[in-house]
Chain A
Amino acid sequence: MSEPVTLPEEAPEQARHPFTEAWEMFRRNHAALVALVLLVLICVLAVIGPVLYGRDPYDMVWAPFTRPGENWDFILGTDYLGRDLLAMIISGARVSIIIGLSAAFVSIFIGVTVGALAGFYRGWVEEALMRFTEFFQVLPTLLFSMVIVALFGASLPMITFAIGVVSWTAVARITRAEFLRIRELEYVTASRASGARNAKLMFRVILPNALPPIIVQSALMVGSAILFEAGLSFLGLTDPNVVSWGQIIGSNRTYFLDASFTVTIPGVAIFVTVLCISLVGDGLNDALNPKLRAR
């Protein structure tokens, strides 16, 4: 007689890792996939582009208003001061993306904190924080950020801060809504019953489960922060010592009728980048929004 053996229990078959499932959903959105590839290319360009191309964007290298294709040394032409547009676009990519990311980070940080506290504690905390959020919501965003930049100076950190401070409200509302939903779920009660303190419940139990819609919102926020920065620098509220796409447009806008390419080219760069971010955000929404799973 041989020893009796216990058979290993099989896990239910449909069980797949949530990440795998999300990636499957994302992959089905072809536009998002193409956009993701483009976005990666843009980021790579922003990081190693200046080294590869090696031309100083501030150098006056050729006659002003050289049209694209006139001189193959300057493929995209030169601006009103005779600076190489391609060099400016490449080095501007870095600034635009950094501002986009860090402004989005600032607004996520504020929004998640406010939303989490409001949704978790309820009661007067929620009342106070949501009124505060509504106050920010009704401020005209561009005007408010212009005031901040005008008052405190047009340095990159201040611009980032100004953009973040005016755009966190959506994140706060989403986070609060998710917290309100999740705090009533049984695993939160179970954690509470095992002695978890509030901070742990908020940030280790509830927040990870609230992340999907926050991630989608954050992706879109990066895009809108880039647009916002372009808007500010078009109005001249920008650090004159760094090139950004918006700043190229802003400084060349007087010559728009004579040399429209100096404005169009950075405009296209902004357009493509923001479009890609939006499409990726859309793909993330497909991947992470359980309501769309059924399709």
Chain B
Amino acid sequence: MTEALLKVENLRIELTTRAGVAPVIDNLSFELGHGENISFVGESGCGKSMTALAIMGLLPEGVGRVASGRILFEGEDLTAASDSRLRDIRGNEISMIFQEPMTSLNPVYTVGEQIAEVLRAHQGLSARAARDMAADLLDAVRIPNARARAGDYPFQMSGGQRQRVMIAMALACRPKILIADEPTTALDVTVQAQIFDLLRDLRRDTGTSIILITHDMGAVAEMAERMIVMYAGRNAEIGPVEQIIDHPRHPYTKGLISCVPHIMATLTEDRPDLTEVPGIVPGLREFGQDRCLFASRCAYRTEQCLRQRPPAMAFDNGQLADCWHAETL
């Protein structure tokens, strides 16, 4: 494998809360290649968004910090980079789109101005050139009549259109990595498909690597080459999407996949009942304990799971699962 574009090594992020210090990300490692799409899945509160914010250097100030580990972007350690260096990278080489398109755009500026602003800050374009390019970008994200719509304020646009604007803004400087934090959670199902189509096409055209954070297993299957299943701040399973969906090695992944009806069953065959993963994600205060954090919800748990944190089990096909029973599953 060639030198990875982004390499996260043994990342540990600690969050200081009233109850004490909790590791919201505990020993996470992964790599992202050029033009690759990797997906993070997992329930809310598993540290997916925290990982994204850590890469951007936007952990909540005074609350979250990188305790150990490195985030290497083209060989440069972002956890040690200066603020001004990070500002240069943000929006220019690594950019991000957010969950809530309704509130992610500044209500007092037109969408064209907001896109142009990014271009002027990072590419040093003149006001006029930036405005022209903003319109081109809106056109590229398939907003009809882009030149006129560039003068619209966010409130004049629908949720799907706003998310397109966000994508246009994120891709304005042709970043090497695009982090999409649940980009479609707040949108209608029909619009969701359009946004995913758009992301896929843009990726093909620009060669941008994408880190997609999502709940949607269907989207993962469609969009990504590799996936990382996270649970309680830890890696549960990582590997090629097809392999994992085909044969999950971690009971949590198994549970997540069986929650999705259309991957498992076809309409004609016998359909298994929709299942759920019983229980909820443990509270922050339990994070970091030396045991399998999923054990309380797991049907396969044994004594060992409660005593010791499972190590990563590697498989020949590139799958890596943090479970004591990975081999027998």
Contact = CB atoms under 8 A, between A and B. Distances in A.
Contacts of B211: none
A196 B100 CA distance: 20
B90 A185 contact: no
A191 interface: yes
B105 interface: yes
Contact of B158 (A6, A9, A196): A9
A187 B121 CA distance: 17
B106 A194 contact: no
B156 A195 contact: no
A138 to B, nearest CB: 30
Interface in A201-216: 205, 208-209
A70 interface: no
Nearest to B107: A209
A7 B145 CA distance: 10
B119 to A, nearest CB: 10
A17 B103 CA distance: 17
Nearest to B152: A11
Contacts of B166: 190
Interface residues of B, number: 38
Given A6-B144, A9-B158, A15-B155, A193 B105 contact: no
A4 interface: no
Contact of B87 (A18, A195, A209): A195
Interface in A151-191: 185-187, 189-191
Contacts of B251: none
A44 B290 CA distance: 77
A11 B156 contact: yes
B158 A193 contact: no
Contact of B56 (A6, A7, A11, A193): A193
Residue from A17, A195, A196, A197 with most neighbouring chain B CB atoms (10 Å): A195
Nearest to A185: B103
A54 interface: no
A214 to B, nearest CB: 14
B305 interface: no
Contacts of B145: 8
Nearest to A211: B108
A11 B145 CA distance: 12
A196 to B, nearest CB: 7
Interface stretch (B91-99, B130-138, B196-204): B91-99
A9 B146 CA distance: 11
A69 interface: no
A12 B100 CA distance: 18
Interface residues of A, number: 26
Contacts of A196: 87, 91, 121
A140 B155 CA distance: 45
A192 interface: yes
B118 interface: yes
Contact of B58 (A8, A189, A209): A189
Contacts of B56: 193
Contacts of A187: 103-107
A189 B118 CA distance: 14
B88 interface: yes
B100 A195 contact: no
A147 to B, nearest CB: 40
Contact of B155 (A8, A18, A208): A18
Given A123-B62, A194-B90, A9 B144 contact: yes
A193 B90 contact: yes
Contact of A17 (B58, B61, B90, B153): B153
B169 interface: yes
B90 A195 contact: yes
B90 A205 contact: no
Contacts of B158: 9, 11-12
Contacts of A18: 107, 153, 155
Nearest to B148: A8
A8 B142 CA distance: 11
Nearest to A208: B108
Interface string B102-122: 011111110000000010011
B107 to A, nearest CB: 7
B121 A195 contact: yes
A194 B91 CA distance: 4
A192 B53 CA distance: 11
Contact of A195 (B92, B98, B105, B106): B92
Given A187-B107, A196-B121, 8 more contacts: A11-B157, A12-B156, A18-B107, A186-B103, A190-B96, A194-B118, A195-B92, A196-B87
Interface of B: 56, 58, 61-62, 87-92, 95-96, 98-100, 103-109, 118, 121-122, 143-145, 152-153, 155-158, 161, 166, 169-170
13 contacts: A12-B157, A18-B107, A122-B61, A185-B103, A186-B99, A187-B106, A189-B98, A193-B56, A194-B91, A194-B121, A196-B121, A205-B106, A209-B106
Interface of A: 6-9, 11-12, 15, 17-18, 122-123, 185-187, 189-197, 205, 208-209
